[in-house]
Chains A and B, each alone.
Chain A
Amino acid sequence: MSPLINIFKKKSSTSNVQSIIDKYNKDQTRLMDILIDIQAEIGYISNESASLIANQLKISKVDVEQTLSFYHFFSQKETGKYTIYLNDSAVAEMMGRNEVAKAFEEAAGSKFGEVTKDGKIGLFNTSCIGMNDQEPAAIINGVIFTRITPYRAKEIIQDMKNGKAVNEMGLQSFGDGNNSSNYIQSMVSNNIRRKGPVIFSDYNLGKSIKKIVNMKPTDVIRDVKASNVRGRGGAGFPTGMKWEFCRNAAGDQRYIFCNADEGEPGTFKDRVILTELPKLIFEGMTVAGYAVGATEGILYLRYEYKYLQKYLEQVLEELKTANLLGTNIGGKNGFNFNIRIQFGAGAYVCGEESALIESAEGKRGEPRDRPPFPVEQGYLNKPTVVNNVETLCSVVKIITEGPNWYKSFGTKDSAGTKVLSISGDCMNPGIYEIEWGFNINDILKMVGANDVQAVQVGGPSGALIAPTEFDRILCYSDLSTGGSIIIFNSKRDLLKNVVLNFMDFFIEESCGSCVPCRCLTVLFREKLLKILKGNGVMQDIDDMISWGPTMLSNRCGLGHTAANPILTSIKNFRPLYESKIQQNKLFDSGFNLQEAIAECCEATGRQPIL
C-alpha cells in the first residue's frame, strides 16, 4: 500500500525511488502514481529522481518534468518537514483566511511560498480544497485542518517546532458520520443538511447488481436513457446516451471513470458522498461497467481528498469479499469488474473529462481536442465513460427503483435531484439534496441567508446572480450547476473579494495550452485591477465585454468560462463597475509618474520632482 499521510517524511534515497518505480512495473502510464508516492515519501521530486524515472520508464526527462511541473502538489524543491497548504478561495478569505495566513507567517517566521531556513515548515497557498463549509481550512502533510483560527495557527506552528506528529496535533474530536471511522479519523464535518429522495435515501447494498445480472446490458442502458438522467458535473450530457456511444464504439477494452476531482471552488458534495456512500458510488461504476462492457473502473480522486484513501481502499476490499466487485460478480459468469483509485495532484482542469484521462495516463492534465470523444477514444485510446460521482449514485437508484420513479422528481427537462454544496454568508452551510426546480429564493430561505447581495451559482465558472434574478430556477435549461452555490451578503466587496479572487483562480489553474485562456485572462485581470485602482474609464468596461466572445475559442470548458467572473458580474452588477470608474474622463492609461520614477530615486538617492 502506498504511503498515505507522511507524518514524517523520509530522506531521499535512490533505492526508495527505484522501489516505487518498480512497484508500478516501470509503466509510463503510471507516472502520476510514481510521482505521488515519491512526493509523499521524500517530500519532493529531485532532479536525480526525475532522471531515474525517465531512464527507467524509457521516456525523456523533459516528459517527466512536464507532468511533474504541471501539478500543484508536486515539488522539485524541498517543501519542509511540515508542509502547510492553506486554502485561498474567496470563501476562505471571507471566513478569515488572511488573518490565519498572517498568524502562520508570524509564528513560522517565513512567508507563504517559502520554507523556513531550518527546512522544517513550508507555507503554501492552494486553490479550494473542498471545505468551503468549514473554512479556513488547510492540508498539512495530508491531514485536513478545518475552521482554523489565528490562535490555532500559532498552536500548530508551536507543535511543529516541538516536533509533534501531525495527526497528534490536538485533533480532539473527529467529524460526524464516517469521518470518525478508524480508516479516516478526520476533523472534517459532513454537514448534511437536507437528504433528498435519490442520493441520500435508503440504500440497499448490491440490490442493483442483483437486478442487472438478470438484464441484458442494453436493457440497463435503455433504463438509464429512459430516466433522462444527465451528467451531474455541470455540463449535463445525457448519461444513457454516453453509455450507449461507449458500448457501440469499437474497442477490445472499455473503461469506466468516476470523476471525483471536484475542484470548482465551493463544491464539496463529492467529498461527503465519498465519505458516507462510497459503496453506492462503486456500485454505480459496476453497473456502468456491466452496461458498456468494461471490466476496469478508475476512481479519479483529487489529491486534496487523499485522507480518504485508506478508507476507500478498505471499502473496495469489502465489496470484493461481498462478490460485488472482482470476478463473476453477483454470481454471473463473466461479469468481471475491478476498480482502482487514481489520485490527481492538484489541477482544477483535470475535472474536465479528457484532461482527467490524460492525467490518469500519467501526463499533464491538458484537455484533448474533440473529436474524437472519450466514448470513442478515451483512456489508453479505448472507449471510456467518465461520469460524475453523483451521476453514478443516481444510476443505482434508477436501476433499483425504475426510470419512472426517478423521473417523478425534478422538472420536465431536468429529472431527479441535485446535491448542492452551499457556502458563504448563511446560517447553515453544507450539503443539500434538492429536486431540480428550486429557485434561488427557496434556497436562500432553506439555508438561512439574509441581506444577500449576490449568489454565485455553479462556482467561478458559473454566474454571479443579482437579487433581481433570485426567482430563476435551478435546472439544465435555466441555472445549470455542478452544485456550487456561494452566498455573499451586502457587506462583501464583490469586485475585490470575489471577482478578482475568481480570476486569480482561473489564471492559476489554466493548463496554458490555448492562447486566450493562458493570456487573455491575465489581461482581463489587469483591466479589473485598473478599475479597482480608480483609473478606469467607461471604455474599460466595454473593452472587457468585447473580449468576452474570444474566450469561447478555447478548447475546454475551463477556457470557455475563465472570464465569466468578470463577464457575468458586468452583466448583473454593472453599477458596481460604474461606481468605480471616472465618469468625467474618456481616457486614462493608468500611468503614475511617481510610481514609475520611485526605483530611479531609490537608485540615485534623489528626491522626486514631479
Chain B
Amino acid sequence: MAELIKFTIDNQDCLAEKGLYIVEAAAKNNIYIPTLCNIPGVKPRGACRICSVRVNGKLMSACTTPIADNMKIENNTPEIVEMRKIILETLFVSGNHFCPACERSGSCDLQALAYRFGILNQRFPYQFPSKSIDASHPKIMKDHDRCILCKRCIRGIKTEDGKSFFAYKKRGQTLEISIDTELTSQLTDELAIKAANLCPVGAILLKERGYNIPIGKRQYDLTPIGNEIDHLEK
C-alpha cells in the first residue's frame, strides 16, 4: 500500500497517498479545488491559476504542487475565494464570451465556475478583444473569442508519434492557440472529439453538429461543477 501523507485543508485533517498533487489529494478527502487547465492523467501545467491555494502561507498552484507531509493548505478562505473570482471575472472580460450564443453553454467549465462562485456580474470593463474564428480545419472550429488559453488541447492532443496539433502563438495579450495546418489529416475523428471534449469552454467545436443536448439536461444545468467531489448540492 502506498505511503499516506497527513495534511490539513482549511484546518480539516486530511490523508492521501504520496505522489498525488494537492488537487487530487483534496478530492480524495471530498474537498473541491476548482481547476480550468488541469487534465486528469496528463502532466499538469498551472496555466489558469484558479486552483491557487496557500500552502504553509505561500500561494501555490494546487494542480502542480505534490502533497507533502504536514502541509497546511488554505482553500476556501475569503482571500482565496476573492482571488478566484477576480481570475474568473478577468477571463470573462478578456475574451468574448457570449454565453447565450455558445454551443458549450451549460456544459462550460468557465461558466460553471462562475455559477459556483455566485458571480452575478464582472467588476472589470469588457475588453471586447478583436479575435477571430478559424474554421479552416475540416473537422473542428477554433473560436479564439472563447479560448481561455488553458493549454488543455495543446497538452492533451498529440499525434501517434507525439507531435503537437495545437500550440501557443505569440505572447501576452496577443497570445492565441493555433492548429497545425500540416498535420490536418492526422487529426482523426476520435482525436477531434477528444479535443472538443477537453476544451473547458466552447473554443474547440466539432463541425456539422451542435446544440445536441437540450437545455435542462446539460452538464451544469442542475448540478454545480465539483459537486461529485464535495456534494455542494444534494
Contacts and interface: CB of A to CB of B under 8 A. Distances in A.
Contacts, number: 128
A61 B180 contact: yes
Nearest to B172: A510
Interface stretch (B10-18, B113-121, B122-130): B122-130
A371 interface: yes
Contacts of B159: 60
A382 to B, nearest CB: 18
A520 B179 contact: no
A235 interface: no
Contacts of A522: 94, 127, 173
A60 B163 contact: yes
A364 B168 contact: yes
A513 B47 contact: yes
B173 A520 contact: no
Contact of A550 (B48, B86, B164, B179): B86
B7 to A, nearest CB: 16
Contacts of B90: 515-516, 519-520, 523
A63 B59 contact: no
Interface stretch (A138-146, A276-284, A551-559): A551-559
Contact of B59 (A512, A543, A553): A553
A70 B165 contact: no
Contact of B180 (A62, A510, A513, A518): A62
A66 B168 contact: yes
B165 A62 contact: yes
B49 A514 contact: yes
Contacts of A512: 149, 168, 170-175
A251 B169 CA distance: 33
Contact of B181 (A58, A61, A515, A543): A61
A598 B123 CA distance: 27
B46 interface: yes
B138 interface: no
A65 B180 CA distance: 10
A350 B165 CA distance: 25
Interface in B122-155: 123-125, 127, 148-149, 151
Contacts of A510: 171-173
A70 B175 CA distance: 9
B182 A554 contact: no
Interface in B153-194: 159, 163-175, 178-183
A514 B46 CA distance: 8
Contacts of A552: 59
A529 B82 CA distance: 25
Contacts of B83: 549-550, 553
B64 A369 contact: yes
Contacts of A514: 46-49
A313 interface: no
B165 A523 contact: no
Q: How large is the interface on A (under 10, 10 to 19, 20 to 34, 35 or more residues)?
A: 35 or more
Given A62-B179, A65-B178, A511 B165 contact: no
Given A364-B168, A550-B83, A60 B182 contact: yes
B52 interface: yes
A523 B124 contact: yes
A70 B93 CA distance: 24
A69 interface: yes
A27 B9 CA distance: 45
Interface in A531-566: 543, 547, 549-550, 552-555
B44 interface: yes
Contacts of A550: 83, 86-87
A515 B49 contact: yes
B61 interface: yes
A347 B148 CA distance: 23
A478 B95 CA distance: 40
B87 A364 contact: no
A47 to B, nearest CB: 10
A59 interface: yes
Interface string A352-374: 00000000000010000101000
A509 interface: yes
A61 B173 contact: no
A65 to B, nearest CB: 6
B172 A508 contact: yes
10 contacts: A60-B180, A63-B163, A66-B169, A512-B172, A518-B175, A519-B90, A543-B123, A553-B49, A555-B49, A555-B61
> Which 5 pairs from chain A and chain B are nearest by CB?
A512-B175, A62-B167, A369-B64, A519-B94, A66-B167
Given A65-B167, A554-B49, 15 more contacts: A54-B182, A60-B165, A61-B180, A66-B169, A369-B61, A508-B172, A510-B171, A512-B172, A512-B173, A515-B148, A516-B49, A519-B94, A523-B93, A523-B124, A555-B49
Interface of A: 51, 54, 58-63, 65-66, 69-70, 347, 364, 369, 371, 507-516, 518-520, 522-523, 526, 543, 547, 549-550, 552-555
